[in-house]
Amino acid sequence: MALAILKSPPKREKEKLVIPTLDQISATYAGLTARKAELHAQKSKVEAEIAEVRKVLASGDTRPKSRLAALLGDMTTENSPEPSLTRLAELQALAEDLRQALVVLEDRIVHAAQEASGLICDLVRDEHRQRARGVCLKLISLREAMLEYLDLVDQLNARDIAWEQLGPSHLMALGDPRDWQSTGARYLYSACERGFIDANELPWKEATR
């Protein structure tokens, strides 16, 4: 009787982390940003009319166009008020009101963004710590590899061997792996302070900061 070949179940792929946007996590933030877009659109429209009114006033042709439009049958509900100094003053006042409203709205958006960001950070805090810890452990492993490489280099140098032909591969960006004040070491100490790794996992146990 043939033995059944047991197959291990396929590994489940890690569920991809989906981080919500600020407007997805906060209805307040979404409402404020939507209102900001509306006010910007209104402000652009007002500024365009201001430019048009100034153009008409500068040309000196301030005769009412509405009567001619009525005779031609061109009157619609969308006809703008006649260009005049009064209308220009109204538009400028409205533009200033919109500008001030946008300033206040921007402050509220910043505050809402901070609150919404806090909610998102709470959602991803554990995942962030796990990934940051992964970086630290890989960096510690890299340090071990660097020490092994330096051991070989030290032996070559001690024997006055011209080994440039091998292609020196010093990883200088992280500093000397034996130095507890190197760039790599400072990164790990900072990570330890943030709770990503424990103090007893630091490779420089004999050193004190």
What's the chain's average pLDDT? Answer: 87
Among 5-19, 25-39, 47-61, 114-128, the range scoring the smallest mean pLDDT is: 5-19
45-98 pLDDT per residue, tens: 999 999 999 988 888 765 656 555 666 666 554 556 788 899 999 999 999 999
d(CA 188, CA 142): 12
pLDDT of residue 208: 43
pLDDT of residue 75: 56
**Predicted confidence band at 139 (pLDDT cuts at 50, 70, 90)?**
very high
Whether the per-residue pLDDT at 181 is higher than 80: the answer is: yes
Of 175, 124, 189, nearest in space to 147 by CA: 175
pLDDT of residue 62: 59
Half-sphere exposure of 97 (CA within 13 A, CB side): 8
Whether the per-residue pLDDT at 133 is higher than 80: the answer is: yes
pLDDT of residue 12: 62
Q: What is the largest CA-CA distance in the chain?
A: 106
pLDDT of residue 154: 94
What would you report as the CA-atom Rg of the chain, rounded to the nearest whole angstrom? 34
Among 11-25, 43-57, 169-183, the range scoring the smallest mean pLDDT is: 11-25
Whether the per-residue pLDDT at 141 is higher than 50: the answer is: yes
Among 30-44, 69-83, 108-122, the range scoring the smallest mean pLDDT is: 69-83
Higher local confidence (pLDDT), 149 or 67: 149
pLDDT of residue 1: 43
Angle (nearest 5°) at CA 123 between 119 and 129: 120
pLDDT of residue 76: 52
Give the pair of three-digit tokens for residue 95.
Answer: 């533009």
Whether the per-residue pLDDT at 3 is higher than 60: the answer is: no
